[in-house]
Structure 1
Amino acid sequence: MELPQAFPDELFLGRLIRYLLLTGKSERSFSFQVYGSSRVSIHPFLTAGVSRIAELSGEESESLLNRETLAPLFFFYLPKHAISLKEDLLCGDGARAFRHSQLPSFNSGGTLVLKWCPICVSKDLFELGVAYWHRAHQIPGVTSCWEHHVRLLSCELKERQRLFVGLPPLLHRDIEAASAIEIDVARFSYDLLAELERPQPSIDLVDKYRSRLNALGFITPKGTVRRKPLMKALTADLAMYPMQKSLFPRYSTDYHYISELLSAGTNCHPFRHLLLGTWLFKSADEFLNYVVPVEEHCSVQSTSSIKNEIEQRCLMLLKDGNSLEVVYRMTGRSRCFLKRLATMFDIKLNLKPKRLDNNLQQRIIRLARRGVHRRRISSICGIGIGSIEQVISAEPGLVEWRKQCHFESKRRACRAQILRYRQIHPDALRCDIKSDCNAAFFWLYLRDRPWLEKSLPKPMKPCVHIRSL
């Protein structure tokens, strides 16, 4: 199998479409040859099975993945899932690749589209004799052509077999100009995608964002983010962008939007990063080459170490026999924090009331192991529910044990309700049980389906009613 030569910035799916058009092969036969199934679902910009196609065409799989799909963007902005996503895309597991791309988690698993620029179509037809699908146009959220500054047109991909779509059409309609922010985002995305074709050193996105925000005056001297002015400025600049609900702030006080982007280890849609990167840095080159000052980098890295130092200091003071009040004055940590710390490390506290002594703790643990409710334990022992919860959470394995007991109790109750209903109504159908024992039925359906299927009456065969002519 010899694929047609790739055009500049051509989408990998577009090359496959051109191959089928040139050879006359059917989509089903091609899918069966490559994937072993004629009903496989092919993703437009995260196409799986690259290794198999590269093997058949004699090309390099890594090059195809990095130069003709949007995988580099997902590798860059989702480093925790990059290895798994890459393996799935290469081996051909499209369903797993879709899950590892986190698109379902971002509420972006709806109808897929292919986008094109009408001016690019005319230009490609004039220079190359054929129009093709551009990769940079397919970036989710991008609505403008980076080169011609017009809004992209799109067509929905409603069926799973997406090789039938054909080439982008030449439509004679009014061309709509894009806004300035749309053009900036499209240009930033195109340049960054081109840079990511080559291996890049690991980048701490949070450090870059916070340092740039600090330079713009959105970080306080204590290191906290001025969320109100930041979100007000951001939403004002995005007002001209045709927004999609899941990719943009819902309103000017949607502080959770910016908090997720500035939290280390949080997964966010790549377009959110592209949007913030464009707003902060304007160009991809400035973004990649931006150097975080040493003082800021060290202050961010030392935050966790400072917390550990404070915790160790609290432990040392508590072990020396200091009271909670003294340790609070010296460290600033609350009494609840200090009590929890002492319980975790088995440090005896010199508390004045001395109500929650060792004997009472053992009694609470015994009652908790028997499955007694926290309120009942509180009334029996004469102490607050908060103290009860503290003792239970500090005992290893006790929380899991109580959860398991609660699960077994709930399962017994639901089973008993179904069995009792069947005894009272021996002729009841499945639909009757589902209607009259709705909560128990669905609890068992989700958590104990084998028992439910075994205990329900056998399903009745449907009756066919023949219409008389």
Structure 2
Amino acid sequence: MLGYFPVPYQDELLYSLVARYAQHTGLVGNQKSIVREVFSSSTAVAVPDLPSHLSSLVNNLQLAWPTSVEELIKSFTLAPVYLPFLSQQQASKTISSMRSDSGGDIHTRSGIAASVIKQQEYFRYCPQCLKEHQMEFGECYWRRIHQLPALGFCSNHSCLLEYSSISFHPREKHLFVAANEIKLDSSIRHIELKDIEGALHDRYEQLLQASQFKGLGYNRWTLFYRNLAVELGLVKNSRVCHQEIHRLLKRTWAGTTFEDQFNYSENNYWLTNLFRKHRKSFHPLRHLLVTTALVSELSVTKLLEKVRRLPEGVLVPSHFSKKVTVQNAAEYRYSWVDMLKRHPSAGVKELRSTERGDAIYAWLYRNDKSWLMSNRPKRKVNSQSHYAVNYRDWDAKNVAHLESVYEVMANVRNRPRLTRTRIIKELPRSNSVEKHLPDLPATSQWLTDHEESVEDFQLHRLRIAYEQMKSNDLEVKRWRLLRTAAIRIELVTPKIEAEIRRLEQS
């Protein structure tokens, strides 16, 4: 049972947490001791993306950090990127392997080992992100978003990611290396990102944060892409226009870092196979390349929900060659008219989101298009006039909202430091708030008065450490407080020293 474990940072890899634990406890270089203490096993391997032994780790963390296997997989591994695109059986076995103490088959089960898109050989990082981590936390860490295959840039700072000298899957299987332990290049190579590249980065990030643990299965994805081709008019004479799809996507991604993903090949071209019956899983990047370009209006959450509503186990119907009968057409027309009556004010998009609405629309579009076009709801015209932003009202609402949520945020036990950026994220329209802070003086002043300094955050961690010791009947000692609160000796200020003496004497 571990009495101490580092507080996780935003978007941090579990691998990075274990590496920081080794550094904080002085176990750097003693590989076997680290894995024995953390995983209660001498065979646990330092795997950054899909680690195993998670049940053992959770059991060992109950005193220092009560968490669950599901939370570790969701927030500190790369599993959320892969799971939705697997079959239910594959996803279930992948999660079981991550729970268990035998994870040697994880990369085979998840399809990563056989994928044409290979993982990078070394850990990657954004130099600007590292500088910000060093200033805010006093140390650096490995971020998940920087380790995603084929995503070689940081969207937040519009710069290329740099490669470290640390192998992503090293020969030393039990070695955890923290970002602080090596000298990293701090030079920044800025690039000009296109809007669609930023959109892909955002979708990758949304996918990381999605909680879709079940594989959606090959049949659902087959139906989704066939329906998509129909909806976009990329079907001719009951056949998907693969060449037209290729040209469309090639043109959309031209001049970006993903342009080479659309080099056409007559034999086994992935884009052609994606719009055919799925017999294997496709890499998440390829799903995102297509959906970012063709259904940009759908967030990742809505996209996965749309796919989830499709039939799971039914074989793909051969509706592209099915003969349309008068009876079929009459039934679908009746269903469509009935929906129009039940939802008189709804547009096409809203009608398709109702139960069976999408299926009815797709059938009529394929087989009775002229009638459907004559019986669509009228397009709604947005007659709302533009008006100037009322900054005074916005400012007052921001302050009221922050006052209502601050106490809850501050009292979360294992919370991150309440920096200005972290607090702003609690506000509605947070991105706009950051851009317009000069126009929001009350909001800006409130943030200045309430943002937490590094010293204040360390004092908060000291009090949490003190409570843990009291609850575990441990004697309150200076060294134990510093270790549990993860405060390095050289960072101890007079104020922190005074608080330590107070806690020792209380």
Aligned to 1:124: 133
CA distance in 2: counterparts of 1:199 and 1:291, whole angstroms: 12
In 1, Cα distance between equivalents of 2:108 and 2:172: 16
Say whether 1:179 aligns with 2:162. Answer: no
Segment of structure 1 superposing worse, 66-75 or 123-132: 123-132
Aligned pairs for 1:203-218 (under 5 A) are 204-218=220-234
CA contact under 8 A between 2:85 and 2:216: conserved in structure 1? no
Corresponding position: 1:66 with 2:74: yes
Distance verdict in 2 for CA 1:277–1:196, change over 3 Å = farther
Residue 97 of structure 2 corresponds to 88
Q: What aligned pairs does 1:321-332 form with structure 2 within 5 A after superposition?
A: none
Aligned partner of residue 268 in structure 1, secondary structure: coil
1:272 aligned residue:
286
Query: Which residue is 1:259 aligned to?
Result: 272
Whether 1:78 aligns to 2:86 is yes
**Structure showing greater Rg:** 1
Contact 2:69–2:99 (8 Å) recurs in 1? yes
Q: Which of these residues, 6, 9, 22, is aligned with residue 7 of structure 1? A: 9
1:261/1:63 CA distance change after superposition, 3 Å: same
Secondary structure of 1:94 counterpart: coil
Is 1:27 the counterpart of 2:8? The answer is: no
Cα displacement (A) at 1:12: 0.9
Contact 2:91-2:215 within 8 A present in 1 as well: no
Q: Of the candidates 219, 231, 236, which is equivalent to residue 220 of structure 1?
A: 236
Give 2:52's match in structure 1, choosing from 43, 48, 54. Answer: 48
Q: Which has the higher helix share?
A: 1
In structure 2, do the counterparts of structure 1 residues 211 and 160 end up closer, same or farther at CA, with 3 Å as the change threshold? farther
Query: Which residue number in structure 2 is paired with residue 435 of structure 1?
Result: none
Among candidates 169, 178, 184, match of residue 166 of structure 1: 178
Is the counterpart of residue 191 in structure 1 residue 206 in structure 2?
Answer: yes
AA partner of residue 77 (structure 1): F
Q: For each residue in 1:272-293, what CA deviation from the matched residue of structure 2 results, as whole angstroms up to 9, or x when unmatched?
A: 2222222222342452455899
Task: Look up the equivalent residue of 2:288 and give its one-letter code.
Answer: L
Note the alpha carbon deviations across 1:155-174, whole angstroms, 9 max, x for none: 35143436443216553313
Assess if the C-alpha contact under 8 Å between 2:216 and 2:307 holds in 1: no
Match runs of 1:22-421 below 5 Å: 22-25=24-27, 26-34=30-38, 38=42, 40-58=44-62, 59-79=67-87, 80-107=89-116, 112-155=121-164, 156-157=166-167, 158-161=170-173, 163-167=175-179, 171-177=185-191, 179-180=193-194, 181-196=196-211, 204-222=220-238, 224-242=239-257, 248-251=261-264, 256-262=269-275, 263-282=277-296, 283-288=299-304, 290=306, 301-303=316-318
CA deviation profile, 1:403-452 (whole Å, cap 9, x unmatched): xxxxxxxxxxxxxxxxxxxxxxxxxxxxxxxxxxxxxxxxxxxxxxxxxx
Displacement after TM superposition at 1:78 (Å): 1.0
Seen in structure 2, the aligned counterparts of structure 1 residues 244 and 49 have a Cα distance that, compared at 3 Å, is farther
* 1:48 Cα offset (Å): 1.2
Kindly provide the amino acid, as one letter, of the partner of residue 251 in structure 1: Y
Opposite residue 106 of structure 2, the aligned amino acid is: A
> What is the root-mean-square deviation of aligned Cα atoms in Å?
3.7
Deviation at 1:124, TM superposition (A): 1.8
TM-score (norm 2): 0.53
Cα distance per residue 1:190-220 (max 9 Å; x no partner): 0122123688988922333333333333222
Q: What do the CA deviations read for 1:165-190 (whole angstroms, capped 9, x no partner)?
A: 32165533132315324322211110
Q: Name the structure 2 match of 1:364.
A: none
SS at match of 2:152: coil
Residues in 1 aligned to 2:142 and 2:220: alpha-carbon distance in whole angstroms = 33
Paired residues of 1:41 and 1:162 also in contact (CA < 8 A): yes
Change (3 A) 1:39 1:239: farther
Q: Does the 8 Å CA contact 1:260/1:268 hold for their aligned counterparts?
A: no
- 1:293 and 1:105, CA in 2 relative to 1: closer, same or farther beyond 3 A? closer
* C-alpha separation in 2, matches of 1:70 and 1:133: 12
Q: Give the Å deviation of 1:56.
A: 0.7
Aligned identity (percent) is 23
Residue identity opposite 2:303 in structure 1: F
Secondary structure in 2 aligned to 1:6?
Answer: coil
Q: Please report how far the alpha carbon of residue 265 of structure 1 lies from its aligned counterpart in structure 2 after TM superposition.
A: 3.7
- Distance, in Å, in 2 between the alignment partners of 1:268 and 1:124 is 34
Instruction: List alignment gaps of at least 5 residues for structure 1.
Output: 308-469
The separation in 2 between residues aligned to 1:159 and 1:234, in whole angstroms, is: 39
Deviation track 1:213-232 (CA, whole Å, cap 9, x = no partner) reads 3333322251x211112112
Structure showing greater relative contact order (alpha-carbon pairs closer than 8 Å, 6 or more residues apart): 2
1:247-306 Cα shifts (integer Å, max 9, x gaps): x34436566312332323422222222222222223424524558999x99x99532899
Structure 1 equivalent of residue 469 of structure 2 = none
Change (3 A) 1:200 1:300: closer
Cα pair distance change 1:209/1:105, threshold 3 Å? same
User: In structure 2, how many angstroms separate the alpha carbons of the residues matched to 1:63 and 1:4?
Assistant: 16
**Unmatched 5+ residue regions in structure 2?**
323-506
Cα offset, 1:88, TM superposition: 0.7
Q: Contact 1:27 / 1:161 at 8 angstroms: preserved in 2?
A: no
Contact 1:213 1:280 in 2 (8 A): no
Cα deviation, residue 142, structure 1: 1.5
| Deviations 1:13-37, CA, capped at 9 Å, x for gaps | 1111111111111222112445576
Amino acid paired to 1:185: L
Asked if 2 retains the 8 angstrom alpha-carbon contact of 1:142 and 1:182, the reply is no
- Alpha-carbon distance in 2 for matches of 1:198, 1:81: 11
